[in-house]
Structure formats: structure tokens, C-alpha cells
A and B are shown apart, each in its own frame.
Chain A
């Protein structure tokens, strides 16, 4: 069982990194969408 345990720590590390990466992407997408949304709303006014 132990090799699996080592493997999972490794995989877990990879996944955590991926998740952090995606979390920052989320922030960029969120900010830009809000910005674009506001710009279009202003345009309409």
C-alpha cells in the first residue's frame, strides 16, 4: 500500500498546484467580465 500513499502525496501536490493556478485564472476572468460588463452598462447609459 505504501507506494500508493507516496504516489497520492505526489498527485495531491500536483492537483493542489493546478487548483491554485486555476484559482488565479478565476480571478482574472471574474475581474475582466465585471469590467466588461460595467463598460457595456456605461455604454448603454
Chain B
């Protein structure tokens, strides 16, 4: 029996290493192909400039809203082709006033900026649906209230969709952590985000032309969203859901890697925990709803995505939980043996098996470090000794937090299923 468990755990490790190697290959290939310099001050004119409606959903965001809207109005895109809709969604603060006051600035006079005070339901998805009904643009762009786009972000997004407007229903850029120097947590989040965006996003796009809408810093064809019936009101992760819906229609979500926005990340464990638990829960729910596509006639991309999510959220997660429990349990029992030598540890690995596991663990750890540092090397100013040391420590600390978050999300879902109530609390990510 125990032999089978060994085999299963070794296979788990190999599959996860294999998956990492595949994405890493794609990511590295993409990076090597796109290392040439772009003269961002002298960009060639776009083939055409479709009208774009940029939507900014904001819920009590008076601290950050002005910076974001300023950055949007200063985008390198013809002013007469850009409509900006700021939604102050059920705000109790001065978000709307702060955004509206920008219209009095000489710089922004005559700009197509509308600030709407909204009291409806549905959260962010509700806002996006409202915007969908009144937007005049051919494309809808979305920027969260804390995500200030870089000057050329929209230019690169539009440039990307115009490469193949029929196929590319949407394009997404990358988000950089604005406050990464704040503390240990933000430094770790920064590492994670750079890794996701420089390796996973690029890798999946390079190899499989798979992209996911990240929630902010993306544009999407308005007509396609209308055909899809808009966003699912109240969905915890409306982004994952719309990505799946697009893929189901065989449309692509293209990566415009030079379109950058700066985002604020949680600075406290509490804010981090609530944000990530919401994401994890939403992902489990979307996964549950899409599991059937593994066996029907859906496009292969959606099958691959479902499989990828399943491996990460069910298989690997369970494997890590079991591995951590065994490790801690063994450690505890080994300590107790000092008191009572008659006690046995749970699992006694020795000889070749122990060697095998050690080598595989080391490989995994080394691959983690390598992947993270390839990602860091490709980003301006991030390949530092400090970040290398943070990546070492993060493996044993920050990376383990995900397990807690995923377990809490599973617990929430089970509890709601048993009690029959849905307690979806939408903790707003606190701004600083």
C-alpha cells in the first residue's frame, strides 16, 4: 500500500515539474523573441484607431481615483476616440467628487469623461454590465480604480487586437506592483506577480495562444460581450468566467505584453487573505461550472485550461497539504521521541527512497528559483540580490500561504453547500 502512495507522490511531483517546464519553455521563448527595444517615444501610428470606452469601477476609492483617471486621460490615444466612464459604485466617500473635479483642470477640459454615481447591485460585474449598455466605443477597456495605466498601455492593447480583429476578441496587458517596497508581504506579492506575468502568461500565449482576462488593464470587443450576454452579475471572479466564455466561442484573448499598468497590492495579511480567498473561491466555482467541458465538444483550449486549473487547485494542492501534514507530524513525533523512545514516526523514509524524494524536492525548489529569477531578469530593475534572497525565503513562507487560502475557500464552499446559504462576502481590498 505504502509503495503505491510513493509512486503516486513521485508522479505528482513529476507532473508538476513537467507542467512547470512546459510553461517555462514557452515563457523563455517568448522573452527571447521580444527582447528588442521599442522606442516608446516614437511609436508608429496605429492602422486605425477604434473608439474605446474605458470603464473604471470604483467603490470607495477617493484615495486613488484621481491618479488613475489622470493616467487614463493622459493615455497616448486620440482624445476624440476615447470615452471614459467612472462608476462611483455605492460609495460612501468622495470618489465621485474627486473624479469629477478633474474636469475643471485646464488640461482635461472638453474631455469625454462621465462620472456616474451608481446604487445598483452586482458589484464590479454589475458596473461592467451598466457600462456595456451605454458605452459608445467599439471596444471596452477596464481599469480598476487603483490601476494607473502607463502612457502607451491602450496603444499596445489596441495594436494587439488589430493584428487579427476577428480572432482576438480581447487583449490584456500586465500589471506591475506599485507599492512593492512597502513590506515583506508586498515584496513577495511582487515576485509572484512578476512570475505569473513574465512566465505563465507569456508561456501560455506563446505555446497555446491561451490568455486570461486579468480583471484590469484589458480591452474587449463590445459586440462579442453583448453576444455573450454581458458579465455574470455577482460573480466573484467575473474575469475568469468571461475568459472561459470567450474561449468556448473559439475567440482568443491576446497578450499585449508591453501594455503596462501599475497596481496597488494588499499591504496587510488580512487584506491579502480576503482578496485571495475571494479569488480562490471564485476559481473553484468557475472550475466546478466548467468541469463538464472536459468531456464535451468544447475547444481544446478550454479543456487544457480546465485541466490546468484542476491540477493546481485539486491535485497539487492536496499533495502539498498531505506533504506538509506528514512533514510537521513527523517532526512533532520525532520531538516526542525524546520524551518517549517507544513512539514511532508516521513515515520512515530511508535508503534509495529517501534519496529519490530529496533529489526530486531539490529539483522542484531549484526550478522554482530559476523560474522566478528568469522572470526577474526580464524586468527592469528587479534582478537584484535583494529580490533573489526574497525569492529564497518566500518559498518557505509566502508560498505556503496559498494553502491556507485555498483550504479556507474550500471550507467556505462546503459550509455554504451544507447550510444552503450563500455567504459571499466581498471584502474590498483596502487601499493605502
Write the residues of chain A forming the contact surface with B, with a CB cutoff of 8 angstroms: 1, 4-5, 8, 11-12, 15-16, 18-19, 22-23, 25-26, 28-30, 32-34, 36-37, 39-40
Contact = CB atoms under 8 A, between A and B. Distances in A.
A25 B10 contact: no
A25 B379 CA distance: 14
Nearest to B379: A33
Contact of A28 (B32, B360, B363, B367): B32
A42 to B, nearest CB: 12
B14 interface: yes
Interface string B363-374: 100110011011
Given A1-B3, A19-B370, A22-B28, A8 B10 contact: yes
Chain B at the A interface: SS class: helix
Contacts of A25: 28, 32, 374
Contact-residue size bin, chain B (C-beta under 8 Å from the other chain): 20 to 34
B37 interface: yes
Chain A at the B interface: SS class: helix
A8 B359 contact: yes
Nearest to B362: A12
Contact of A29 (B360, B367, B374, B380): B374
B347 to A, nearest CB: 15
A4 B360 CA distance: 13
B7 interface: yes
B6 A4 contact: yes
A9 to B, nearest CB: 9
A29 B28 contact: yes
A32 B3 CA distance: 48
5 contacts: A12-B359, A25-B28, A29-B35, A33-B380, A37-B381
Contacts of B399: none
